[in-house]
Homo-oligomer: A and B are copies of this chain.
Amino acid sequence: MEKIDLKLLKEIAELEGTPQGAYNIRKNGGAGGRACTEHIVIDTKTDKPGIDIRIAPGTQHESVHIPVIITETGLTELVYNDFFIGEDCDVDIIAGCGIHNTGCETSQHDGVHTFYVGKNSRVRYVERHYGEGEGSGARIMNPQTIVYLEEGASINMETTQIRGIDSTKRETKVVAGAGAEVVITEKLLTHGAQTAESDMEIILQGEDSSGRVISRSVAQDTSQQVFYPRMTGEARCFGHVQCDSIIMGNAKIKSIPAIIADSMEAQLIHEAAIGRIAGDQITKLMTLGLTEEEAEEKILEGFLQ
């Protein structure tokens, strides 16, 4: 692997070289390496671009890395990855896409990830987006994530996009069965003239299902962000959506959540706040010797931690 590939892998998957366990690296639309394990089998799709990942029932404490790296300018791809996770598993899935665009054409990765999570399985899904390159070509990512949780299953999804992606439209849909649990943590920072939209739908369909969405974002310069988190309760369930945003410069942020109770036994809560960094927080850090810029950076870092 080239140096630039290794740097992108580190940014999006905290990897030093090739991952442990099962993995599939996609590089510039082609194969960049693959490994299966006894319990985790990865196959290339035959009908469209993408892979099928099959995780055997009872697989415990294993991980799958499926990073995507793009270093060619002008590459645009749409990839479908399907995860079939058996019952009683406990696995980590680490996805992510890094684009290094030094050219003047748009580089774009659109990934559609669908998870079928079997009874009582626990999945931790981490997705990082990162862009760099001094070229004028845009770096675009439109991830779509669809999750079906069977009885007692859970997903803990962490998505992070910190700097470098010019335009993103994220769509997430989770359907939770009886006793299933959804936790989504979304972290986003936009700067320059970037735009980001996050459309999220959580359907608490089964009895005693629960959902929690924590969204934290920072919009700098003239960037624009729009959030549409929707939580629907169709049975006895508990749902909580919390969106906090810091606005800076001439940025614009819209937060348009929806909580929808279709059952008298649904308990749904939503909280959202948009505001700038409190002046006294900056002053306090400056008295400790930081410059205004350093103080601001520290506060944002803590906020997006």
Contact = CB atoms under 8 A, between A and B. Distances in A.
Given A269-B272, A270-B270, A270-B273, A259 B255 contact: yes
Interface string A70-101: 00000000000000000000000000000000
A14 interface: no
Given A259-B274, A271-B271, A274-B259, A266 B254 contact: no
A273 B264 contact: no
A257 B260 contact: no
A253 to B, nearest CB: 5
Copies in the complex: 2
B255 A270 contact: yes
Nearest to A257: B257
Contacts of A266: 247, 274-275
A273 B265 contact: no
Contacts of A299: none
B262 A252 contact: yes
Nearest to A225: B261
Interface residues of A, number: 32
Given A254-B258, A256-B257, A248 B273 contact: no
A250 interface: yes
A276 interface: yes
A129 to B, nearest CB: 23
25 contacts: A233-B274, A247-B261, A247-B266, A248-B264, A250-B264, A251-B264, A252-B260, A252-B261, A254-B261, A256-B257, A259-B274, A261-B275, A266-B274, A266-B275, A267-B273, A267-B274, A267-B275, A268-B272, A268-B273, A269-B274, A270-B270, A270-B272, A270-B273, A271-B271, A271-B272
Interface of A: 233, 245, 247-276
